Homo-oligomer: A and B are copies of this chain.
Amino acid sequence: MKNIITLVFLFFGQILMAQDGYKLWLQYAEIKNPKLVEDYKNLNAQVQLDTTTATGKVILKELNLAFDGMLNHTVAKSSEQPTLLILKHAALPQSLKKEFKELEDLPEDAYKIQATRLDKREVIVISSTTETGLLYGTFAYLREMQRHKDLSQLEITDAPKIKKRLLNHWDNLDRTIERGYAGFSIWDWHLLPNLIKEEYIDYARANASIGINGTVLNNVNASAYILQDDYLQKVKALADAFRPYGIQVYLTARFSAPIEIGGLQTADPLNAEVQNWWNEKAKEIYTHIPDFGGFLVKANSEGQPGPNNYGRSHVDGANMLAEAVEPYNGIVMWRAFVYSDEKPEDRAKQAYSEFVPFDGKFKDNVLVQVKNGAIDFQPREPFHPLFGAMPETPLMMEFQITQEYLGGMSHLAFLPKLFEETLQADTYAKGAGSTVAQVVDGSLTNKKLTGMAGVSNIGNSRNWTGHPFAQANWYGFGRLAWNPELSAKTIAEEWLAQTFTPDPEFVKPMTSLLLDSREAVVNYMTPLGLHHIMAEGHHQGPGPWVKDLGREDWTSVYYHKADSLGIGFDRTSTGSGALAQYAPEIENAYKNIETTPQEYLLWFHHVPWDYKLDNGQTLWYNLARKYQDGVEEVEAMINTWQDMKPYVGEQVYEKTRMLLSIQLEEAQWWRDSCLLYFQQFSNKEMPEFIPEAKHTLDYYESIRDRYAPGIKPSWD
């Protein structure tokens, strides 16, 4: 009987409550500080807003949800004297109008939040010239509350620096997601248009809360069938659901759709029947969805059809579609991610070579959408040389939020750090200080049409993104699309405080963890400018040995070029010459190994194994050191996370703990397999700080992940 104990129950509801991540950064967690609760209740005692509009209703619903959560079911006092006014500028009481006059000169959807006085009472006013601006202001206000800020001195004026702030879903109509690591697509096409899931609304709320104002629903490797009437009904249902949140829907346009669903013999953009087909299709779409955003197109890239199939140019193709949507204020986003099927030119050069001659030739409603780097969303790439090289063309930034090359769903990598690095890079297009951010936000060359796209990491996982910390990348993308000058640090602090707790004992160490996390991934995957050495096809795990594929530039050996002399891709004038696509300031600095920043060393140079880096150690030593640093950084993340246990729910604590253990294993896998592989070429001893590898190189090379996520499913 010794083992049979009598237990007394102690109920801790909150401990048992599931914190499953569904609420994202809109937790609206109960505030425990009684003084703060009192202050917040007083300031939010009574709100004045217009709920005759769809967006007004949405704002009221959000306030209810937020105050309910944060202020714990408290009934606000009734009074005819509002304490919180959420009103369009034109509807403000006369005495306040002047204080908010600046709104008239700010970009669309700007808002101002101001603690002020009205009829001698203290009030908070949120105002904008647009409904959507009011919603953005409300979310900004709630963000301050979630961060437990003092509201009594509040004064925030903010406006989006970029006009089109879009998610790109690489979601297929069968609900699989290319490079998706968080389950099935949230778009349940089969049950649309009749079933509007709660998830669609919460998706719109989350996006609106960070200023995202558009979403491309389907994959750039597109199915034409989404343009058929039955699917357009479904798209319309989503557009209707998203509209109150200021979110427009966009679709990808498969260039050959006139053939596949239109019954035409050609998709030649200069053919009148083809042009007419697209014009009629656009008309049909806009009949269903008057505020349809437009088309995103991947053409003549990786097997997708395009104008080149008919001897026409990207300009011909883009302008044809642009004409079709122009009458309705639609836009075309034409991707610059192309590389030739024939030319054996360095892939890093091809988009530039192809697109620079087109500068100034696109119609006004065309954005050329350019990936952050010239290869393909690697853990680190120099900024894409097109930024700064097409002054007459609005260039839209394409970031990848889903972690195709940064560990899928199992690695914690805070991507705003990567995004920030690209945005703050100097193109020198108009002299020093001509940052990529200024190209993208249009300020450098005075562009009105501006955009930023993020390839979504969202699926139907309970917490949306699989990894709890992958939510931060969605959040961070949205914030940077609104304001590309925001720092990764600010974003980390905001997200942590809202998602978990504003307690500085948590936010401070975790901000460091987040800010360091992406460099850890670079270190244990592709340090010193290495790139594209991952496993084939699914891109999960190391694969520096990958060779002999259909194309040379799909292999790893093509990119690292390791041999007995050294390692790295010579892109200077003695090599592919890709460096010459950058401004002279960059070219001059990077053309010599000595003056090339260490993080881009092997991107631009083939460097001897014995070459001494700044620290006096050889390249081989430094390569090993970086791999080891990466592993140790993950170990440090694990230690930090263990200390965070008191601040987070048990469920997210355990899940993150387990994921970090996977990340550590995979970091070691990268280190061990890459170093063993490269050692064959360097012929050097492994530095002593590198522990013995668990397996042989043969074993690592034999690993196959037949059912890896994010690729075309296999049933066999």
Residues of A near any B CB (own CB < 8 A) = 1, 3-11, 13, 16, 18, 20, 22, 46-52, 60, 63-65, 67-68, 73-80, 82, 87, 91, 172-176, 178, 183-184, 189-191, 194-199, 221, 223, 225, 408-410, 459-462, 540, 651, 654-655, 658-659, 661-662, 665, 705-709, 712-716
Contact = CB atoms under 8 A, between A and B. Distances in A.
A429 to B, nearest CB: 39
A667 to B, nearest CB: 13
30 contacts: A3-B52, A4-B87, A4-B91, A5-B49, A5-B50, A6-B46, A6-B47, A7-B47, A7-B48, A9-B64, A9-B67, A11-B64, A11-B68, A11-B76, A18-B198, A22-B462, A172-B707, A172-B713, A174-B707, A174-B714, A175-B707, A176-B713, A190-B408, A190-B709, A191-B410, A195-B659, A196-B658, A221-B715, A460-B460, A713-B713
A196 B665 CA distance: 16
B661 A194 contact: yes
A709 B172 CA distance: 12
Contacts of A662: 191, 194-195
Nearest to A707: B173
Given A174-B713, A175-B709, A460-B184, A60 B199 contact: no
Contacts of A191: 409-410, 659, 662
Given A22-B462, A176-B715, A712-B713, 13 more contacts: A6-B48, A7-B51, A8-B46, A8-B79, A9-B47, A10-B75, A16-B68, A189-B707, A190-B705, A191-B662, A199-B462, A223-B707, A460-B460
Given A20-B198, A190-B708, A3 B50 contact: yes
A113 B67 CA distance: 45
A16 B189 CA distance: 27
B707 A655 contact: no
Query: Among A7, A9, A18, which residue has the most Cβ atoms of chain B within 10 A?
Result: A9
A561 B175 CA distance: 36
Copies per assembly: 2
A83 to B, nearest CB: 11
Nearest to A78: B8
A501 to B, nearest CB: 21
Contacts of A52: 3
B658 A195 contact: yes
A715 B712 contact: yes
Given A18-B198, A173-B706, A462-B462, A82 B6 contact: yes
Contact of A707 (B79, B190, B408): B190
A617 B83 CA distance: 72
A187 B554 CA distance: 31
Contacts of A74: 11
Nearest to A462: B462
A46 B172 contact: no
Contacts of A10: 75
A92 to B, nearest CB: 10
Contacts of A410: 190-191, 195
Nearest to A81: B6
A70 to B, nearest CB: 11
A708 B174 CA distance: 7
Nearest to A650: B198
A13 B11 CA distance: 21
